[in-house]
Structure 1
Amino acid sequence: MPIWLKAGWVFFVLAVFWVLEGNYSLIKFRYKKWKHAKTNIALLFFVMVINAVFGVITLLVVEYGSIKNLGLLYIIDFPVWVELLFSILVLDLIAQYGVHYLLHKVKWMWRLHIVHHSDKHVDASTGTRHHPFDFVLRETFALVAVFIMGMPLSFYLFYRILSVLFTYFTHANISLPLAVDKGLSYLIVTPNMHKFHHHFELPWTDSNYGNMFSIWDRMFGTFIYEDVSKIEYGLDISNHTNDESLATQLRIPFNKKVVSK
């Protein structure tokens, strides 16, 4: 997929949820929305560059796997739709839930991930608020999943399209009817469900790691769904930092004044 088409999809989905959260807000923020988004969009630039580099690497891995017939999909023989669903589930488990869990549990990885949690006004733009080194780890895990599965590039592309959609959907400051949000959360990650993950303190911070499917959180005991009105954004160990300063955010992993849990 050309880089301009990737960027177009990202900004289209971001724009849709940007508009929706302006009319159906979960929390009425008193902030300058564009100023807040500036840092997150700047971090998105790094994300897009890293994604482009890994796109080339992924293409090489897929081609190598097809030549050598490496991967689970070369062993099993199921209908295409089953293989596609299986590939998406494995990608979601390894490249989303798995790496996200480690980002919270491994100390040096957590320091990278603090940047994502330092946002005190979680909205759609927070979806791609990642330190560059954080995103490199995510892309590396995705590459591992592609190699394990031996999936065609079309499967991976479809996964990325869905992943972008869910990233902005779950971070968007939108309010779905409680019954709808809670009902959907039995299968997929919903806006309310993911907001608990952005609560400023434990234990909620270490829960709801999923990106698309909520089944992993339910399966591994990391799922919670409480009273959404109790959520406070930010992070208790880094709330003294300027969450709207790009330079400050890029330095957080190396700033000894920012403590780790």
Structure 2
Amino acid sequence: MALLRHFFSTHEDLTQIILYATVITSLWLAEVLVSADGLRSKFRHSSVNLMFIFTALPIQLLLTTFIIIVLKWDTFHHWGLLNLMHFHTHGIMYYIVAFVLMDLCEYTYHVIMHKIDALWRFHLVHHSDLKVDVSTTTREHPVETFVRTGFLTLWVFLLGPVIGVLIIRQIFQTFANIIAHTEFRLSDRANKIVGLIFITPNLHHVHHHYRLPYTDCNYGDVLSIWDRIFGTFKELDREDTHFGIDTHMDEDVNGKFLNVVKIPFQKLERKNYTEDHL
């Protein structure tokens, strides 16, 4: 047991990858059991999304080194908003405040990716998935992986959290993102209660609706409170929710990895799709 504790404490990145892979695989198999698509169709769809793991991992692991360097610099120089608050770094209140501020930063990042056209071109790769399931979690253009990790470095620099906050935050964020993209949804009653604080699959599915204004709502990463505070919270019934993005509804494009990677470099043409065509 002592050897296991030592291993996980000294290999945070590998631990996160193992947890990430285990949870995705388990939920993917569970989705197969309830999916009406069949195993062959499910595998064909997921294989495109899972290819993005091979582009994301090298970038993420490389830039994590810079995040740790910035974090250590913050700690050494007592830099960052959290250090100005003079919390005891081992107290529960410190971790709660740090977690909430990090979540606000991720909400801000998500809004930026939608509002700046040059960044939206890469983020829409994630939104272009015509069937949202647990594999959609991995559907991220390598340029966005670089940008997202760069923003995380910026948030760490500005806030100055201890490494424990970052580890806890990344674990919660990983689980929250995976669960938010699953095919499984909460009952309306459970969603009303849980959704008061947390982003649920029901709420995140609305964000993946193919048309505005729903695409620009429910930006929350772990917490839904920011959407309620900043007026970006919306709900939509399951039967009215259609996945994708109205500029890229072609199954031939979205069903091939190389075609998806090339999407940001192509001209955007907004089609007049209606629910009758879906």
Q: Pick from 58, 80, 86: which aligns with 1:77? A: 86
**Cα 1:178–1:251, aligned 2, differ >3 Å: closer, same or farther?**
same
Q: CA deviation at 1:121?
A: 0.8
Query: 2:240 aligned with 1:230, yes or no?
Result: yes
The secondary structure found in structure 1 opposite 2:254 is coil
The secondary structure found in structure 2 opposite 1:211 is coil
Query: 2:139 aligned with 1:129, yes or no?
Result: yes
Whether the aligned pair in 1 keeps the contact of 2:56 and 2:142 (CA below 8 Å) is yes
Residue 31 of structure 2 aligns with which residue?
Answer: 21
**TM-score, normalised to structure 2's length?**
0.87
Superposed CA deviations along residues 55-92 of structure 1, whole A, max 9, x for unmatched, are: 10011001111221111222223352111111111211
The secondary structure found in structure 2 opposite 1:32 is helix
The secondary structure found in structure 2 opposite 1:235 is coil
- RMSD across aligned C-alpha pairs, in angstroms? 1.8
Superposed CA deviations along residues 11-57 of structure 1, whole A, max 9, x for unmatched, are: 012123223334456xx446711111112111122222221012100
Superposed CA deviations along residues 160-193 of structure 1, whole A, max 9, x for unmatched, are: 1111100110000002222112211110000000
Q: Percent identity between the aligned chains? A: 30
1:30-179 matches, cutoff 5 A = 32-79=41-88, 80-94=91-105, 96-179=106-189
The secondary structure found in structure 1 opposite 2:198 is coil
Distance 1:159 1:151 in 2: 11
Distance 1:104 1:236 in 2: 14
Distance 1:73 1:114 in 2: 33
Distance 2:71 2:222 in 1: 23
Whether the aligned pair in 2 keeps the contact of 1:107 and 1:260 (CA below 8 Å) is no
Superposed CA deviations along residues 194-230 of structure 1, whole A, max 9, x for unmatched, are: 0001111111111111110000100110001121211
Q: CA deviation at 1:259?
A: 2.9
Distance 2:269 2:113 in 1: 15
Residue 6 of structure 2 aligns with which residue?
Answer: none
Whether the aligned pair in 2 keeps the contact of 1:209 and 1:217 (CA below 8 Å) is yes
**TM-score, normalised to structure 1's length?**
0.92
Structure 2: gaps spanning 5 or more residues: 1-10, 272-278
Relative contact order higher in (CA < 8 Å, ≥ 6 apart): 1
**Cα 1:23–1:177, aligned 2, differ >3 Å: closer, same or farther?**
farther
* Greater Cα shift, 184-193 or 7-16: 7-16
Whether the aligned pair in 1 keeps the contact of 2:125 and 2:263 (CA below 8 Å) is yes
Whether the aligned pair in 2 keeps the contact of 1:111 and 1:260 (CA below 8 Å) is no
Q: How many residues align?
A: 257
Larger radius of gyration: 2
Residue 242 of structure 1 aligns with which residue?
Answer: 253
Structure 1: gaps spanning 5 or more residues: none
Tell me the amino acid that sits aligned with residue 184 of structure 2. I
1:177-256 matches, cutoff 5 A = 177-240=187-250, 242-256=253-267
Whether the aligned pair in 1 keeps the contact of 2:207 and 2:214 (CA below 8 Å) is yes
Superposed CA deviations along residues 91-142 of structure 1, whole A, max 9, x for unmatched, are: 1111x21111111111111111110011011000101211111122211121
Distance 2:256 2:117 in 1: 23
